[in-house]
Chain A
Amino acid sequence: MKNAINFIVTIIVALILSQFLPWWSIMVAGFVTALFFSLKRSAVFLVPFLAILLLWSVYCFWLSSGHDFIMAKKIAVLLPLDGNPYLLILVTGLIGGLAAGVAAILGKQCAVLIRN
């Protein structure tokens, strides 16, 4: 249950913050959510990781699929990901998830410190 709440709250906070903050809004979201909805063990990292992975992937897909992935295919040549836009979506999601997850670990440690 706590995992699900953290998951949803991370996404909502990330969505709201992205309106005002640069790309690292997802790190803030991971951090803040971990402060208030503390999880245990690997879930500390995994839940926000999956939340942002999902958020960014869906957002990318939504932006790019309506446009035949024209740019995504080219960036997937540039990086290089064999010109595969889905791989690029995955990489984007992984990067976002990683950043949010790591920030959440920091948030969790702060929460532990404050509570004690």
Chain B
Amino acid sequence: MAAAQGYPAGGADDQERLLDEATAVVKEQAFYMKKAIDSDNVREALKNASNMICELRTSLLLPKNYFELYMQVFSEMQHLSGFFADKNRHKKKMIDLYESVQHAGNILPRLYLLATVAAAYIKSLEAPAKEILKDVNELCKGVQHPLRGLFLRYYLSQMLKDKLPDTGSGFEGEGGDINDAFEFIFTNFNESNRLWVRIQHQGPAREKDRRERERHDLRVLVGANLVRLSQLDGMTMEFYAETALPKILDHIVSVKDTMSQQYLLESMIQVFPDEFHIRTLEQMLSAYARALPSVDMKPIMVTLMNRLANFLAEADKEKVQSAGDIFTLFRSHLQGILERALQPQGTGTVGVPDMAPPLEVLAAFMQFTVSLYPDQVHYVDIILGSAAELMQKFRALPGCGGALSDKAADQIGELLAGPMKTLGLGVLKMEHFAALVSFLNFEARKQVSLSMVTAIVEDNRSLSSVEDVKALFTFISPLLKDEEDTPLEEGKDKVRFAEDQQKVCKLVHQVRHEDTDVEYQMLTEMRGFFGQGGPQRLVFTLQPVFFAALGLVPKIQAREKRREQEGDEAVPPPAISMKKVFQFLHRTNSALMQSSPDIALQLWLTASVTADQVERATGEGNFEPIAYEFLTQALVLFEEEISDSSKQYKGIHSIVGTLCKVAALDPENFDNVSQKITRHAAKLLKKPMQCRAVSACSQLFWCDARREPKRVRECLERCVKTCEAVVQSDSGQVGLWVEMLDRYIYYFEVDCDEVTITFLQSLLQICVEHIDFAMKDPQSEQEAKKAKAHLQATMTYLKKMKESPDAGLAARFAELTLS
């Protein structure tokens, strides 16, 4: 036993060898011990047992190997235990046996033997159990080596677990009562814990981490005592609450060791029944507040809350009521528990305390509260208030500057997100919500804002008052404008910025109210907020506002109609007229003209058709000027802002398409616009584009507003001339002829009587000739093939028309010759 005071350090090979050697001795001595028992020789048996137990005096084995050796000794000792219990064989008085084992020369074997005899002694009922228990317990204090002591204590508890004067046991009465049974296990627990904690100091400081891991593995040797306590029949609710718990908790918090407190506080919850916890919640929580600041309260609180929530969910009403106000209990102790985090963390750690753990506890409490009290909305606010208060105190710490770890910020986000999901906009009415948000930096505030937006959009929650809009938009302002702490690079990541803004846009479609006036007010409120966002945000946000406002026009129209039928009392006149809405649309789109002319052009056009439709329905000339104004704006925009020729080409089609749907415009105004756009078509950069665009413009003489066959023909003739010139200079453009043919067929089909079958016939001929010609030139052969396929398709179509089962249709095409 040379290295008795040291701590095992040898390699794995050494450990294996040491264990093998000790095992060999244990086996040998056990063999002789059993031989002695067989011949009822007490003296020899004790001697061999003592030798065997001496192997446990080693300091060279690692805890896990020591444990293995212990198990071997324990199982051999059961033979001796059986022998002691059989008085007929050893023929000794128990008191004598008890005395005689104390002559063993070495303390460790002496105490192992004593514990073994004590079990038989109590069983014999020759002396009161309580006295023997007390005596052994006292004597066992003689071993103060942490590892050896801890295992001796474990042996003691294993040997005597069924020899206690527990309520209802055979040893009760003269042998004592539950108090004695409790006292025995409690003392053993107490001693075990102290020994266990001391293991950390055994050996060189540099190996402390490894030692602490090994110590952690041994924790059940301490925890087993708590299990034994919970298994006592005399452990009634009353006994637990009044006697057991105060002592246990006092002990746990008095041992200033993080691992011990962490493990034992959590074990207490696991080991004892939930009913006990509900009754003693106050005691438990106040003990938590006394725990070391380094103890991580989250797993402990989460375990407790989960167990209570499950228990109460299954319990009947009566039980729940008798449980009292659990929320208030938790809440009143929570602040103390949380603020442990603000205390300086032991020695050696400098700097800012981490707020993540206490915030995690609060997030768990939030979850617990929401599941247990779904109707008590104000509880949510109270918890948010606790978080805000905690953060306030954190900010006030000297030298911390309020810098929050990412993890802590995430936890605040978690705290805010939960109620947002269940309450939606309701959270904004909470007193402490905004206060808590203010502790976050820009990025985190933006994330919370996005979660809020998502919660509203995904649950399809309506925005139904101007106050809603104001509250929400004030809250999500990190998304809406540049704030004081908005980083300069915000918006540089175009993809992400677009995603954020598009999420915001969805809010506009959540505006819902039966009164068009209220909807209008909400939209103007939104427009006001969006206006502060600058051009980079307006590009996104103005469009939805525009369309939502445009949607008000048919709604107001319907309202007016109902008012006419049902009277002013049933349907009050709208304060916001359609005219007002059109003015709003005008202002909104004007803001887009410079930054996004493509979008603005479309919006002018859509607004003009809408105004035209209202004019068509009302017929009083009030909306014609509006429709015309929008068209004029579109033209001005087209002329001034759109310079790219392919965009011009696209724009001409948009304007022509729109004009085709307009019907109530003053004829002079219509002509004015259509002439202008046709002129632009004729001035496009490339001739083929000109040809196609002017051909599209021919539609302006054959639409809802106009039916002028002669002008259609004139327009088409201009196209044919352009086409001729184009194909002459570049036979690769030969396909244009087939497009012209298609356009002529179209007018022939829609009964434009200036376009006759003769035209079709000669165009067909022209197409065939030009394609044949273009085929011969390798430069244009490819395009000519395409044109030929197109012509083939057109011929097939015409053939179908000629063969149509519709006799009238077939007759119209009958004269056409398709060679």
Partners in one complex: no
